[in-house]
């Protein structure tokens, strides 16, 4: 071990990064803080929280002498967990190598052996879900099977067939009336898919919020509906338990139960430190897991987070747990030293104008300040040098003009001579980095990245800004591609339709078996659309056409006739193998980054269905009714869920996006990321004060998320803490946090974009992202006597 006083000098000597940029005073204080005293770090954007977390974990190894396997570090996303582990290994190995070559003097006996005994790979790191799954697998009793973790769409399929239908949810008017309070429109769910989504959210909330279901179903209004949902929960749990299946909520619940039953003592007996990242997005169940570990282990505790960057309330995250953590720790884990609070406020990411902008934004609404960590948080301090670029704004008369001018801006910066910005002082030219700068250095962030607005009736859906940008960038010479795999549902992507329709045509050529399956009208319609698209595609005779065409292949499959002479058709044919054979004719799914994301979603749906579907995603041949039933199972359990839009893409599978592509992301996706240029779409959709879009900009009532929290509040311990602010206040709070995250992503340039009506002096289109306060005041507007100006007169943007 080395003295604590030598650790910062050690990392500055061993890790090249810290030779250039050593830890600042705040970071050093967090790294060196006593392991005996719980530590809460409130880490502002760009302040190096991951660095601090990693260095604190390494300090526990090299100063305290604890082994990496005794230290548990959790974070929120797989990507963040991968980054954290990569830094632990890189920096930990550098420290080990440095200490081998430069042992402290005087060197104690056994120092070299101790260094060699440290296995940096053995830190227990990951998302809480991944750690729970691993520990329930490796630390189970001999009679306990390993948990089978199911994807969301698989869980929904089980929910429908084994809980909702048996409990008559599909035709229960009392339940419809109850669910109306939690739907998008405030009316009864418009279709069965929406009903599934709301019921699923309730079942997850029952687990995440530790709901007392006996009181829930026996108290208050809508008693029949509450009893129905409680019965659905019981039916769903019973079926899942029978096969030891778990969704993410049940996985965490099972882990907590095993902890409380002291059945995980092989794990807990070894823990000496618990470090939790992104604590602001913790839910009550997860908090109880952490508190139970602390109660049983007396482990050193460090939590890191920022309440201003909490984004996941819709998943059950409860930012109030972080805001009030000091009191909650005393309540649940008494007899510990008093929690120590540290702030990380030095921002190394953004230029001073950007930091000043998001500092001003987060403090704009006085009503929001009491929702933040108390006492009042210090402002973020910019540490980067300025580049002379103020925060920019591009607002145009209509969305088409906006898409055109934004395309020209991007072209000028990344392919042209640059874009000159007249700041009123020295003109500044925005131009790509000459050492490989490209479109991937910019990003468009938005509340939603859907490329089309909702469709009404038979009218074609309106193209939104992401779609218009995709089209206009593709028309450039040379063309520029975007990366926006979430822009459309995978069921609507032409190449995916070609693949899925070809699968359908192969396994059920004339659709006879499909017609015998009880499906709702929407999935039936999409299955037929896919078949038609596949037929049109096959008629074009896509390459390769030698030795067999796509049409030949499909006909061979329909007849179950091998195309190779003297071969027998196999008795079982995995659907996944058929899928990968068909992409020979659809190279976009193999070669294009967006296509690879779509293919992964389809193949994941096939693989996941194998965990619960009776024929395990295989097509049977020559076994009488089993052949037909295997086809029906494939349609019902794999293709129908995609047609119902319950299978999501996972763009995180792409470790790197080609830098020549322009990425478009939701603000939630961008959490934890940074880009040289960030373009935030604050107002491209809003040409009038339409009530249907107020929830995205200036709520006039609580959202469905807040309504559900309030409905469940009497039946869970966390309810009163959430209700210290009204549902409407919490709706505003969440919007403010969302755009704070967006505004704090850029390194060099922040630009807000939208249409002119949102900036008019007399506008009625209120939006928290453009400086409106929840009391209806507009900080970007100063009253004037006489004739009003055309545009708002106090905005902090340089309009270009």
Rounded distance, CA 192 to CA 646, Å? Answer: 12
| Cross-strand bridge partners of residue 125 | 73
Separation in Å, CA 766 to CA 190, 367, 505, 772: 28, 16, 51, 6
Reduced to 3 DSSP states, what percent helix, strand and coil does the chain have, rounded to the nearest 5? 50, 10, 40
Rounded distance, CA 398 to CA 455, Å? Answer: 20
Helix/strand/coil (H/E/C) assignment for every residue in 430-450: ECCCCCCCCHHHEEEEECCCC
| Cross-strand bridge partners of residue 149 | 246
Tokens of 723: 């209700």
Contact (CB, 8 A) for 158 and 608: no
Q: Is 49 assigned a ligand-binding role in the annotation?
A: yes
Rounded distance, CA 320 to CA 328, Å? Answer: 10
Q: Is 44 assigned a ligand-binding role in the annotation?
A: yes
Rounded distance, CA 276 to CA 92, Å? Answer: 19
| Cross-strand bridge partners of residue 115 | none
Residue the block writes with tokens 């071990």? 1
Rounded distance, CA 374 to CA 657, Å? Answer: 40
> Residues, the chain, total?
800
- Nearest residue to 537 via CA among 482, 499, 593, 576: 499
- Nearest residue to 10 via CA among 126, 92, 132: 92
Bond before 375 cis per omega within 30 degrees: yes
- Within 10 angstroms of residue 652's Cβ, the number of other Cβ atoms is 12
Q: Is 46 assigned a ligand-binding role in the annotation?
A: yes
Tokens of 192: 């069965």
Contact (CB, 8 A) for 284 and 210: yes
User: Positive or negative, the Cα torsion across 487, 491, 493, 496?
Assistant: positive
Q: Is 48 assigned a ligand-binding role in the annotation?
A: yes
Residues of the binding site: 43-50
Q: Where is the binding site for ATP, in residues?
A: 43-50
């Amino acid at each position: 071990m080395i003295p604590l006083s030598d650790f910062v000098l050690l990392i500055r000597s061993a890790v090249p990064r810290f030779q250039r940029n050593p830890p600042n005073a705040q970071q050093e204080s967090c790294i060196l803080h006593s392991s005996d005293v719980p530590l809460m770090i409130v880490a502002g954007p760009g302040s190096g929280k991951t660095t601090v977390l990693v260095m604190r974990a390494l300090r526990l190894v090299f100063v305290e002498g604890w082994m990496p396997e005794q230290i548990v570090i959790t974070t929120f996303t797989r990507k963040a967990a991968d980054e954290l582990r990569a830094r632990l290994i890189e920096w930990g190995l550098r420290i080990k190598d440095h200490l081998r070559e430069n042992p402290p003097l005087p060197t104690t006996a056994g120092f070299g052996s101790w260094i060699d005994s440290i296995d940096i790979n053995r830190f227990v790191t990951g998302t809480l879900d991944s750690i729970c799954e691993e520990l329930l697998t490796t630390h189970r009793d001999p009679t306990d099977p390993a948990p089978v973790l199911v994807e969301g769409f698989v869980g929904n399929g089980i929910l429908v067939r084994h809980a909702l239908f048996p409990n008559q949810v599909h035709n229960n008017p009392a339940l419809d009336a109850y669910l109306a309070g939690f739907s998008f429109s405030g009316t009864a769910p418009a279709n069965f898919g929406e009903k599934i989504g709301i019921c699923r959210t309730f079942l997850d909330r029952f687990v995440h919020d530790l709901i007392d279901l006996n009181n829930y179903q026996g108290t208050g209004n809508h008693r029949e509906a509450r009893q129905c949902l409680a019965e659905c929960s019981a039916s769903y749990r019973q079926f899942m338990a029978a096969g030891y299946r778990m969704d993410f909520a049940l996985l965490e619940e099972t882990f907590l139960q095993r902890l409380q039953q002291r059945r995980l003592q092989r794990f807990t007996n070894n823990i000496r430190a618990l470090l939790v990242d992104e604590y602001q997005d913790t839910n009550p169940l997860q908090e109880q897991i952490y508190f139970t570990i602390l109660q049983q282990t007396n482990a050193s505790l460090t939590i890191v987070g920022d309440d201003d960057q909490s984004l996941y309330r819709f998943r059950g995250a409860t930012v109030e747990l972080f805001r009030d953590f000091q009191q909650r720790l005393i309540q649940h884990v008494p007899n510990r030293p008093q929690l120590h609070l540290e702030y990380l406020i030095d921002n190394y990411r953004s230029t001073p104008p950007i930091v000043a902008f998001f500092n001003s934004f987060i403090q704009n609404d006085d009503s929001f300040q009491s929702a933040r960590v108390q006492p009042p948080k210090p402002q973020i301090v910019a540490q980067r040098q300025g580049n002379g670029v103020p925060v920019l704004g591009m607002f145009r008369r209509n969305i088409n003009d906006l898409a055109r001018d934004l395309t020209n801006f991007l072209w000028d910066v990344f392919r042209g001579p640059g874009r000159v910005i007249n700041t009123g002082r020295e003109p500044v030219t925005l131009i790509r980095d000459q050492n490989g700068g490209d479109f991937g250095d910019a990003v468009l962030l938005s509340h939603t990245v859907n490329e089309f607005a909702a469709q009404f009736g038979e009218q074609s859906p309106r193209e939104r800004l992401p779609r218009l940008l995709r089209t206009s960038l593709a028309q450039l010479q040379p063309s520029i591609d975007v990366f926006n795999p979430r822009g459309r549902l995978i069921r609507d992507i032409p190449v995916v339709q070609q693949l899925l329709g070809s699968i359908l045509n192969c396994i059920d050529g004339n659709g006879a078996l499909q017609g015998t399956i009880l499906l709702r009208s929407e999935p039936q319609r999409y299955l037929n659309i896919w078949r038609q698209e596949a037929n049109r595609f096959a008629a074009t005779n896509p390459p390769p056409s030698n030795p067999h065409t796509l049409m030949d292949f499909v006909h061979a499959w329909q007849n179950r006739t091998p195309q190779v002479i003297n071969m027998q058709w196999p008795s079982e044919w995995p659907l996944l193998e058929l899928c990968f054979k068909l992409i020979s004719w659809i190279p976009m799914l193999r070669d294009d980054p967006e296509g690879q994301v779509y293919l992964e979603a389809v193949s994941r749906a096939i693989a996941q269905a194998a965990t619960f579907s009776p024929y395990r995603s295989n097509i049977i041949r020559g076994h009488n009714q089993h052949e037909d039933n295997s086809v029906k199972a494939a349609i019902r359990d794999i293709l129908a869920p995609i047609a119902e839009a319950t299978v999501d893409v996972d763009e995180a599978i792409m470790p790197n996006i080609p830098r020549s592509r322009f990425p478009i992301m939701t603000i939630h996706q961008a959490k934890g990321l940074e880009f040289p240029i960030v373009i935030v779409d604050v107002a491209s959709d809003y040409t009038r004060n339409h009530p249907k879009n107020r929830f995205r900009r200036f709520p006039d009532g609580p959202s469905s998320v807040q309504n559900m929290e309030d409905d469940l509040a009497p039946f869970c311990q966390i309810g009163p803490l959430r209700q210290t602010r009204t549902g409407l206040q919490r709706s505003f709070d969440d919007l403010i946090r969302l755009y704070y995250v967006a505004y704090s992503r850029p390194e060099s340039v922040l630009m807000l974009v939208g249409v002119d009506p949102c900036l008019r002096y007399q506008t009625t289109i209120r939006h928290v992202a453009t400086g409106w306060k929840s009391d209806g005041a507009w900080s970007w507007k100063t009253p004037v006597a006489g004739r009003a100006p055309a545009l708002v007169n106090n905005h902090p943007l340089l309009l270009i």
